[in-house]
Amino acid sequence: MWLTIFILCGPVGVLLGYIVAAAFISYTDWRWAFYLQVGVMVIVIIAMLIVPSKYLDLEKQTEKNKIRLSTSETAAEDLE
């Protein structure tokens, strides 16, 4: 059930995005939709700069997992 909800988030988001954008543009000019999008992007960029890098750096985490796997594999080979 949760996987279904997760997979449906993309198409439902696109559909709702078109509906909301059409309603927004029908009452305002298209430029206001652009300005709103720019405002949201600026807020997201500032939030990403404020969040500590340990929550955003996925490459280092995968390298740690590789190191952990390689040490456990060598330990298993030593036991044989």
The DSSP code for 28 is S
Give the pTM. Answer: 0.46
Per residue in 10-29, pLDDT (tens digit) is 999 999 989 988 888 888 88
Q: Which residues contact 25 (CB under 8 A, 6 or more apart)?
A: 33
> So where are the chain's domains?
2-79
> Cα–Cα distance between 12 and 7 in angstroms, integer?
9
Per residue in 33-60, pLDDT (tens digit) is 888 889 999 998 998 888 777 666 666 5
